[in-house]
Amino acid sequence: MSRLSVIGQRLLHLIPVLIGISVISFLLVKLSPGDPIRMLLGDRATEEAVSMVRERYGLDRPLLEQYLVYIGNLLQGDLGRSIRYRLPVGELILDFLPRTLFLVLYVMCLSVPATVLLAIAAARNQGGWIDQSIRVLSVCGMTIPVFWLAVMLSRFFGVELGWFPVSGYGETFIEHLHHLFLPAVSTAVWLVPLLVRNLRAAILEQMEADYVTASRSKGLPEGYIFRRHIFLNSVLPTLHLLGVMVAFLIGSSVVVEIVYAVPGLGALMISSVIGRDYYVVQGLTLVYALGTVLVTLTVDVISTLVDPRVKL
């Protein structure tokens, strides 16, 4: 089967996945206790006003009816309106999405080169002091809580030294880079060690492989063997791990988004859950699901490019 039709098929699989997720997220959100309208209208709002607004939003209807209305709108591409802001959910999410995507890409741009360099350095000096110190640093990076690190970086580089802003997103591309630097570094610090350990192990395994010994015995130069054979063969598991991590990052950017007051998807998700903004939470869940599937698919496609033996 051609690659394109396989991709098409994979995209078709998305439909049941999204339906399933919409049902689960709808039920989870609706069945969890809590009243969005009271929080919206304020502590002193009258019971009458609260029930009026509840009725207006159809929140007093039976659950099944609410779900059918929701699905009906969804099929027409309408994600509903935010209960809190009275804005279309799609519009709201599209406003917040670019910031999180920017952050995730930024983290990738910092992490991937660092991972490749560190993993190669460690693998080629196996057991040496470079390897050992990379290992120690990796353990440190993985064990430091992101939240704590983010606060510390913000206090030191933001407040004490004044090199970077401690909040916001900025207006221009350069400002985005500047504003999101500390959030991106805070994230890369735990991501890079994970990837480095994975890649290093894979490289070491390949270096022992029979085909490498065979290549050496044929007198191929060491650098050529490494670039052309060892590295390409080692990179696949790490690529898959990276895929999982990117999908994870889209959802877990919330910690740094809160600490650095970046108005991204994570920040929107948290405040929508707290404010019981049902349709925003559901919309975001669908976006996360879509994101995860697309990232995995992209990684699979790249895998076939790196290694023709891999089939989609």
Partner 1 sequence: MIWRSIGAAAAVAACILTGAGSAGSEELVRIASPYKTTTLDPSRSAAAGNIETFGQLYARLLRRDQNGELAPGLAESWEISDDGKTVTLTLRDAKFSDGSPITAEDVVFSLLRVRDHPESAYPAPLQQLAEAKAKDEKTVVLTLEHPFAPFLGNLEVFNAGIVSKTDVEARGEEEAFASDPVTSGPYQVREWRPNDRLVLEASPNYWREGYPKNDGAELIEVGSENTRVAMMLSGEVDAAREIPWSQVSDLQTREGLEMPLEPSTVIYMTLLNEGRAPFDDVRVRQAAAHAIDVKAVAKAMTFGHAEPANTTLPGALDFHHSEYPGIAYDPAKAKALLEESDYDGEDIVILISDIADIDKLAVLLQAQWAAVGLKAKIEKVDRGVWWERIPNGDYDAAPSWWYNETMDPDLAARWALCGTCGNRSFYTNYDDPKVNELIEAAAAEFDPEKRTALYHEIQEITTTEVSQIPLYYPPFTNAYSARVEGLQMTPALQWTLEETEVVE
Site for partner 1, rule CB under 8 A: 33-36, 38-49, 52-53, 56, 82, 84-87, 92, 95-96, 106, 108-110, 112-113, 151, 154-155, 158-159, 162-168, 174-175, 177-178, 181, 258-261, 263, 267-268, 270-271, 274-276
**Min dist. Cβ of residue 152 to partner 1 (A):** 11
Joined together, the tokens standing for residue 138 give: 């990796």
CA distances from 84 to 40, 53, 98, 100 (A): 6, 11, 22, 22
**Min dist. Cβ of residue 11 to partner 1 (A):** 26
Decide whether 165 or 212 has the Cβ nearer to partner 1: 165
Q: Distance (Å, rounded) from C-alpha 254 to C-alpha 277?
A: 17
Decide whether 107 or 122 has the Cβ nearer to partner 1: 107
Partnered with residue 81 across adjacent β-strands are 88
Decide whether 44 or 309 has the Cβ nearer to partner 1: 44
**Min dist. Cβ of residue 104 to partner 1 (A):** 14
Decide whether 46 or 143 has the Cβ nearer to partner 1: 46
The pair phi, psi for residue 277, each rounded to 5°, is -85, 80
Decide whether 118 or 212 has the Cβ nearer to partner 1: 118
**Min dist. Cβ of residue 80 to partner 1 (A):** 15
Helix (H, G, I), strand (E, B) or coil at 77: coil
Decide whether 52 or 139 has the Cβ nearer to partner 1: 52
Joined together, the tokens standing for residue 252 give: 């877990």
Q: Distance (Å, rounded) from C-alpha 312 to C-alpha 304?
A: 7
Q: DSSP letter string over 123-134?
A: HHTTTSHHHHHH
**Min dist. Cβ of residue 158 to partner 1 (A):** 5
**CB within 8 Å of 241: residues ≥ 6 apart:** 194, 195, 198
User: Residue 114 is which amino acid?
Assistant: A
**Min dist. Cβ of residue 103 to partner 1 (A):** 13
Q: Is 26 left (phi over 0), alpha (psi -120 to 50) or beta?
A: alpha
Joined together, the tokens standing for residue 269 give: 């998700």
Decide whether 151 or 294 has the Cβ nearer to partner 1: 151
User: Minimal CA–CA distance to 296: which of 250, 252, 251, 242?
Assistant: 242
- Whether the Cβ atoms of residue 186 and residue 150 lie closer than 8 Å to each other: yes
Decide whether 168 or 237 has the Cβ nearer to partner 1: 168
User: Rounded to an integer, what is the distance from CA 158 to the centroid of its chain?
Assistant: 25
**Min dist. Cβ of residue 54 to partner 1 (A):** 10
Residue 20 has, within 13 A of its CA and on its CB side, a CA count of: 7
**Min dist. Cβ of residue 96 to partner 1 (A):** 8
Q: Distance (Å, rounded) from C-alpha 112 to C-alpha 249?
A: 14
